[in-house]
Amino acid sequence: MTNTKTVTAGVLLIGDELLSGRTQDTNLGVIAKFLVPLGVQISEARILADNADVIRDSVKAFSERYDYVFTTGGIGPTHDDITADCIAAAFDLGISEREDALAILRPLYEGRDFNAARRRMARIPDGASLIDNPVSKAPGFQTRNVFTLAGVPQIMKGMLPDIAHRIKGGPKVYQITVSTSEIGEGDAAEGLAQIEANHAGVSIGSYPWFNNDLRGINFVARGQDESVLEDVRIELEAFVKTLLSGYLR
């Protein structure tokens, strides 16, 4: 039997630097693209300050609300890297240095001081499984349905391959795009609503674009049935021609 359940994910992007504007997030887009072929749809994303209560409560709420949760940031060696403790608190778990995590970290600091700050990266909530980090080696971890990843984009992206086999996804969501110029969103709203109503299970969005010479819209339709989306493409293209013919009269 085909699995028709929509599998959902929430993303928590953690770090004061994101809220201050000093750092611009790119992790959300990378995670979203990673999840599409796995049949998982991101339903909500939040940016959180380095506040223990906020992180703990958000992790708990997202874990209950969504099938999977991804957190990024806050698992490094500094005093404000508090995510691991917050994950443990969200599930009422203990947390301590794990020997398997220490074994990964020790070779990195051979001949250098493997001090308490660096050992913080081996503190893992009880019962969590490690997530491989081929970039900088310090592991992420999975606690129940929550995947805790690094905040640095290159490191976070490197961790994702060790997550794919842990996810049981739903149907893949496909999308098609029909682009046009010289049309405004107000011109298209009524027709788009009718096309969407004609095709159950399909959502259609309009995304305007502008440059110095032109304005236009990308019409994006999403759904689980490629053949239905192809019918939608045909209707959208015919709709665009009708709108454009009205401008040319």
State which H helix or E strand residue 118 sits in.
Answer: helix 116-119
Say if 179 falls within a structural domain. Answer: yes
Evaluate if residue 208 carries a pLDDT over 50.
Answer: yes
pLDDT value of position 210: 86
Evaluate if residue 211 carries a pLDDT over 60.
Answer: yes
In a shared domain, residues 27 and 94: yes
**Structural domain for 204, as ranges:** 174-248
In a shared domain, residues 92 and 127: yes
100: its two tokens: 């398997």
pLDDT value of position 1: 38
The single residue listed with the structure tokens 């440059």 is: 211
In a shared domain, residues 127 and 23: yes
pLDDT value of position 247: 57
| Least confident span in 22-36, 77-91, 213-227, 234-248 | 234-248
> Over the stretch 127-138, which tens digit does the pLDDT of each residue have?
999 999 999 999
Last residue of a domain, one of 125, 144, 166: 166
Question: Which positions ≥6 away from 182 have C-beta within 8 Å?
Answer: 214, 215, 216, 244, 247
- Bridge partner residues of 72 (DSSP): 13, 149
Query: 119 — alpha (psi -120 to 50), left (phi > 0) or beta?
Result: alpha
In a shared domain, residues 180 and 135: no
- Which residue has better confidence, 193 or 247? 193
pLDDT value of position 249: 47
Report residue 225: phi and psi, to 5°. -115, 110
User: Considering only CA atoms, which of 87, 166, 88 is closest in space to residue 131?
Assistant: 166
In a shared domain, residues 221 and 139: no
CA distances from 236 to 103, 218, 245 (A): 57, 11, 14
> Over the stretch 136-146, which tens digit does the pLDDT of each residue have?
999 999 999 99
Say if 182 falls within a structural domain. Answer: yes
Alpha carbons 21 and 90: distance in angstroms, whole number: 27
- Tell me the HSE value of 89 on the side-chain side, using a 13 A CA sphere: 14
Evaluate if residue 248 carries a pLDDT over 80.
Answer: no
pLDDT > 70 fraction of the chain, expressed in percent and rounded: 97
CATH at 219: 3.30.70.260
> Over the stretch 1-11, which tens digit does the pLDDT of each residue have?
345 688 999 99
Alpha carbons 70 and 86: distance in angstroms, whole number: 14
Last residue of a domain, one of 140, 166, 192: 166
Last residue of a domain, one of 133, 166, 199: 166
pLDDT value of position 2: 47
In a shared domain, residues 133 and 55: yes
Q: Which of 92-96, 177-181, 214-218 holds the top average pLDDT?
A: 92-96
pLDDT value of position 197: 95
Q: What is the pTM of this model?
A: 0.85
202: its two tokens: 């399909």
Neighbouring CB atoms inside 10 A of 21's CB total 7
| 95-97/129-131 β-pairing | unpaired
CA distances from 139 to 16, 128, 149, 163, 173 (A): 22, 11, 8, 12, 31
Question: How does DSSP classify residue 41?
Answer: E
| Torsion sign over Cα 32, 41, 9, 207 | positive
> Over the stretch 33-60, which tens digit does the pLDDT of each residue have?
999 999 999 999 999 999 999 999 999 9
In a shared domain, residues 132 and 189: no
In a shared domain, residues 14 and 125: yes
Q: What is the mean pLDDT of the chain?
A: 93
The stretch 193-220 carries a mean pLDDT of 90
pLDDT > 90 fraction of the chain, expressed in percent and rounded: 79
pLDDT value of position 155: 98
Evaluate if residue 64 carries a pLDDT over 80.
Answer: yes
Total of domains in the chain = 2
pLDDT value of position 113: 83
